[in-house]
A = this chain, B = another copy of it.
């Protein structure tokens, strides 16, 4: 029964590294220690494997998003936003394979799933955006950050997150966390209210 899970794990890793088209069912089967036809006992085909993984990633991402939103409820904006970055970073690093695949699907979706993927990803981003925006609105009211439009701050913060999580792929864990802190410091220095 764990074979299905093993297939998904192996396929996630392989799709992330070699891409959907670059990965063969043989690759996946080899990684699991079974033969290619056995995959069909659990999935309808290669596409179906990807779809299941994609669904799983989406579900987990939603759960993760809930955790992050929880994080954004109470406390100072500084802690909230930094916590957001760190939580997200930890998530990206702890689920390296899944997240690499997530980024790949987001940026370069395989033709077949293009529309489906694009749509659901945009929803995710919108939810995220709304939550972050709320933080900035409150932070402006509380004078935790300088004056400005919360919408624009959100735009800039999302850009920062995008940059960071693209970088999570280039650098090893240690270096990444170093950069994360540098970037955060630089960022907070610019956005925070100095008085």
Query: When the two chains form their complex, are residues A166 and B21 in contact, meaning their CB atoms are under 8 A apart?
Result: no
Question: Is A113's CB within 8 Å of the partner chain B?
Answer: no
Query: Which chain B residues border A110 with CB–CB below 8 Å?
Result: 19, 22
Query: When the two chains form their complex, are residues A164 and B159 in contact, meaning their CB atoms are under 8 A apart?
Result: yes
The segment from A4-12, A64-72, A180-188 that touches chain B is A180-188
Query: Which chain B residues border A161 with CB–CB below 8 Å?
Result: 163
Query: Which chain B residues border A146 with CB–CB below 8 Å?
Result: 189
CA gap between A187 and B190 in the complex, in Å: 7
Query: Which chain B residues border A62 with CB–CB below 8 Å?
Result: none
CA gap between A163 and B85 in the complex, in Å: 14
A155 to chain B, nearest CB (A): 5
Question: Is A129's CB within 8 Å of the partner chain B?
Answer: no
Per-position 1/0 for A17-36, Cβ under 8 A of B: 01111100000000000000
Query: When the two chains form their complex, are residues A159 and B160 in contact, meaning their CB atoms are under 8 A apart?
Result: yes
Per-position 1/0 for A168-195, Cβ under 8 A of B: 0100000000010011011101110000
Query: Which chain B residues border A185 with CB–CB below 8 Å?
Result: 152
Query: Which chain B residues border A162 with CB–CB below 8 Å?
Result: 162-163, 166-167
The segment from A48-56, A88-96, A100-108 that touches chain B is A100-108
Question: Is A116's CB within 8 Å of the partner chain B?
Answer: no
Query: When the two chains form their complex, are residues B169 and A156 in contact, meaning their CB atoms are under 8 A apart?
Result: no
Binding site for B on A (CB under 8 A): 18-22, 103-104, 107-108, 110-111, 146, 148, 152-153, 155-156, 158-164, 166-167, 169, 179, 182-183, 185-187, 189-191
7 further contact pairs, Cβ within 8 A, besides A18-B111, A152-B186, A190-B190:
A21-B21, A146-B189, A148-B189, A155-B186, A160-B160, A162-B162, A162-B163
